[in-house]
Amino acid sequence: MTVQQTNIPSEIESDDDFRARLRTFFTDHHPGKPPRDPKERLAHQKAWNATMFDAGFSGPSWPKEFGGMELSFAHQVIYQEELARARVPGPMGTGLGIAAPTIIRYGTQAQKEEFLAPMLRGDKIWCQGYSEPGAGSDLPSLRTTARREGDEYVVNGQKVWTTQATNADVLFTLVRTGTQESRQKGITYLLIDAHAPGVEVRPLRDITGGAGFAEVFFDDVHVPVSHRIGEENEGWPLVRTSLGHERAAGAMNQAAVYRRVLDELTALARERGRASEPLIRDQLADFEIRVRIMRYNAARIISDILTKGEPGAASSVSRMLITAFEQDLHEFAIGLLGPAGLLTKDSPHAVQRARWLTGFLRTRASTIGAGTSEIQRNTVAEQVLKLPHDPGMPPR
């Protein structure tokens, strides 16, 4: 497909010009509120992604060659700020955040051309297939196998907790090509067509009552070898690749989002006449402190990158800060609402479509998904504080 970049100027533009250009675009093309129906909502998000992509406003850190903006870090920050300010969804998804950086770094030219732009445009939905029923935090124990047959792999096994798998077109997976004992030395990174014969997706109802993720079964699924990223048995090191700087710039966006959520909660407390109660005020003030610190941390990470070239220790703790914050915030909110906070979105008496109850349930996953908070703390302790490795855990 041809990548059109109608809005990218050939000259380097000033911060102010760039900001103004973004602001105009987001104002002129604002997608409006997403529909409630899941199918319509997906179509809405896809259309918005395509609009951004076609105008050259997608993939802030991506190479221009694949439809990205190839921005300086300072401009990435401005991009995230304006995105939050405009209240439009960003062009991020599981694939964009995790698979794309891997393909950009390790993929062949043919793979980059085939996969990147359609992913960024939203034409293809990508899903992560790492976790298995027996391999969550201990990912290297995974059991889904891929057997080489000529120029194809034949895949058998099961993945689980696959977010949005019911909508997926492509699954980026880790599969075992070596022996079970080889652990991370026998793992291969494979892109699997979600519509290929032998792939079965079963929605998994979650704690919220919705089906945000699914189980995926592979029964003799044929995958071309050309859809393997990196070498056979050498997929493991690819897992940790990420767009570090884009993520750092995104921290500012996240801080802005939680700022808004807290303002809405404070307004709710006031409306219900609870904001003047000392304990409620103390808790709201504590959230206020944490949400401001989120912004200060983000600013500090950004300053560090701009002056020293890399983020400091503050970047390693921001996820821990955010996950605890969103859990505490939602739990506090349903406490504030009392029994009304228990009403589900189906009840006509629910407050604000039960968003706080849903949030309370949904954020249970915040300290589980993408590495549990326990694993996260281990990693921080070992990598940042250099504490000794736990001999009970496999070597890195």
Partner 1 sequence: MSFSFTAEQEELRQLVRRFCEEKSSSEHVRRLMDSDDNRDDKIWSQMADQLGLQGLSIPEAYGGSGFGPVELGIVLEEMGRTLLVAPYFSTVAIAGQTLALSDDEAAKQRWLPGIADGSLTATLAIAEESGSWELDSVETTAAQAGDEWSLTGTKMYVLDGATADLLLVVARAGDELGLFAVDGAAAGVTRSKLDSVDLTRDLGRVELDGVSAVRIGSGDATEMLVKATDLILAAFAAEQIGGAAKCLEMAVDYAKIREQFGRPIGSFQAIKHKCADMLLEVESGKSASYYASSVVAAGDHESSIAAALAKAYCSTAFTHAAKENIQIHGGIGFTWEHDAHLYLKRAKSSELLFGSPARHRERLADLVGI
Rounded (10°) CA dihedral 177, 180, 182, 187: 30
The 303-322 contact track toward partner 1, x by CB under 8 A, reads xx-xxx----xx-xx--xx-
If one asks whether residue 33 binds partner 1 (CB under 8 A), the answer comes out as: no
Return the closest-CA partner of residue 129 out of 45, 59, 199, 225.
Answer: 199
Return the range that interacts with partner 1 (CB under 8 A); candidates 144-152, 293-301, 334-342, 344-352: 293-301
DSSP 8-class letter at 388: P
Cβ 59 vs Cβ 52: under 8 Å:
no
Contacts of 159 (CB under 8 A, 6+ apart): 129, 130, 131, 132, 144, 171, 173, 215, 216, 218
Contact string (CB under 8 A) for partner 1, positions 250-269, x = contact: ----------------x--x
Site size toward partner 1, by CB under 8 A? 45
Candidates 149, 286, 310, 342; binder of partner 1 (CB under 8 A) is: 286
Residue 300 C-beta: closest distance to partner 1, Å? 4
Q: Tell whether residue 284 is a contact of partner 1 (CB under 8 A).
A: yes
Around Cβ 348, how many Cβ atoms within 10 Å?
Answer: 5
246 annotated active-site: yes
Task: Kindly state whether residue 387 participates in binding partner 1, applying the rule CB under 8 A.
Answer: yes
Dist CA 173 CA 131 (whole Å): 9
- Give residue 290's Cα distance to chain centre: 22
> Contact, 223 vs 157, CB < 8 A?
no
- Considering the candidates 215, 246, 288, 310, report the single residue annotated as catalytic: 246
Which residue number, 55 or 380, has a Cβ lying nearer to partner 1?
380
The reply on whether position 272 binds partner 1 by CB under 8 A is no
Q: Are 118 and 124 in contact (CB under 8 A)?
A: yes
Q: Which stretch binds partner 1 (CB under 8 A): 37-45, 109-117, 177-185, 379-387?
A: 379-387
Neighbour tally for 7: CB within 10 Å: 14
Q: Which of 205, 390, 394, 396 binds partner 1 (CB under 8 A)?
A: 390
Q: Does 249 engage in binding with partner 1 (CB under 8 A)? A: no
CB of 303 to partner 1, least distance (A): 4
CB atoms within 10 A of CB 65: 14
Give the dihedral of Cα atoms 191, 195, 196, 199; nearest 10 deg: 90
Q: How far is the CB of 287 from partner 1 (least distance, A)?
A: 9
Closest CA to 26 of 74, 79, 92, 97: 79
Interaction site with partner 1 (CB under 8 A):
266, 269-270, 275, 278, 281-282, 284-286, 288-289, 292-293, 295-297, 299-300, 303-304, 306-308, 313-314, 316-317, 320-321, 374, 376-378, 380-382, 384-391
User: Which positions are annotated as active-site residues?
Assistant: 246
